Structures are given as C-alpha cells and as structure tokens.
Amino acid sequence: MLFRSYVSIVDYGTGNLNSVAKALEVAARNIGKTIIIKVSNKPKDILESDKIILPGQGSYRQCAIGIKNISGLWNSINEFVLIKKKPIFGICVGMQLFSDQGFEEKVTPGFGWIKGAVKKIKLNDKELKLPHMGWNEINIIKKNNLFLDIKNLSHFYFVHSYVFEVENIENIICTTDYEKKLTAAVLKENIFGTQFHPEKSQENGIKLLSNFLNWSL
C-alpha cells in the first residue's frame, strides 16, 4: 500500500500559494515522496493534514486578521500545533505570527507559540534600505535535520522590514546579517519557520522543503 502524506497550505488570502504549492511538488518529487497538497482554509482540512505550511505576505496585522476572519481557522491551526503536535512550517509573516505580538500598524496578538515580538528593523547605515529585499547569506547556528545538506552561508531570498525578536535564543536556529544579526529561522519542537521565502530560493529552497517533508518528530 502506497503511503501518501497530506500537506495543507493555509489559504487566508495572502502569500504566494501557487508558488509554494509548485515548489512543494518539486521538493516531493526530488525525494521520491508521494504527497497530496491541499490549498485550503477549511478547519477540517487543516486538522486532517500530516503537515501544514502557513505562508504570509503583507503586514503582520493584515495576516492575523485574515486568519481570524475565516470561521474556525485560527483555532484549528492552534489545535493542529498545540494539541495534535504536528509539524508546521511558517514562511515570512507566517513565521512572524508564531510570536506573542507584532508592532506593524497597531499592536496585534499572534499565536504566542514562541515568546517574542515582531518589530521594525532599525538601521544606522543610511545606505541600507528597507525592506531587506533580495538574496542574503544565512548563518546556521544550530545543526538540525531541516537544514540537512544545506551549506552554511547558503543564499536565500528575503523580503521584509520587520524582524522576529525572539526571547529565548535557543529557539533561533538560523540568522542573517543586515548590519546586525536578524532572525532567519526558528524552531521549537514541531514549530518551524523561516523569514526568507523557500519557494523563491531556487535549489536551496527546494532542498529545505524536501527536508520539511522528511522531517519526523
């Protein structure tokens, strides 16, 4: 009997859903894994999934409101993560929503799974611009299976003006340098997220998605 893994990409009106889905298909094919991808905002689909991906594009506040405006979606994501303890991959603002709160536009509560807050990046160098946009190196500061076979100082694609300031540095597994060290990836038990976009990061991004599909807790 062929085992199929169900992976849901959470659709709440933001994020590069089609790009993420196509990158996920390539990632699965590269490791010979059979997956069924659902792009959905239905709580039932979320709860029945083996893994979920939470994308995010735009402001922290817009994304949080977008999820809360869909009946049962916020609670089903919480149940998937905290009660079912299944793997989640947050991308960009999707990762930022793991925090306690964000300070973009207005103070907005997040899921609160990883202690910390999302605040605007403060730069002293006037030649550096916001958003921090384009390719940048990542510093893998903690070895883990999610970055298996990805070399330190590999390049990934970023687009952001706000940074997740994580309280417990044990939850930061990867940083990037943009005048200062910024959080690039977080991990806490079944909760994984990146500030950069794997779906825009070519070979390295596909490899990371493959590792997520292979990730077992």
The residues that are catalytic are: 92, 197, 199
Write a three-state SS string for the chain: CCCCEEEEEECCCCCCHHHHHHHHHHHHHHCCCCEEEEEECCHHHHHHCCEEEECCCCCHHHHHHHHHCCCCHHHHHHHHHHHCCCCEEEECHHHHCCCCEECCCCCEECCCCCCEEEEECCCCCCCCCCCEEEEEECEECCCCHHHCCCCCCCEEEEEECEEEEECCHHHEEEEEEECEEEEEEEEECCEEEECCEHHHCHHHHHHHHHHHHHCCC
Q: Are 94 and 51 in contact (CB under 8 A)?
A: no
CA–CA gap between residue 95 and residue 69 (Å, rounded): 19
**How far apart, in whole angstroms, are the C-alpha atoms of residue 175 and residue 51?**
24
Residues 41 and 70 sit within 8 Å (Cβ to Cβ): yes
Is the Cα dihedral 210, 19, 55, 47 positive or negative? negative
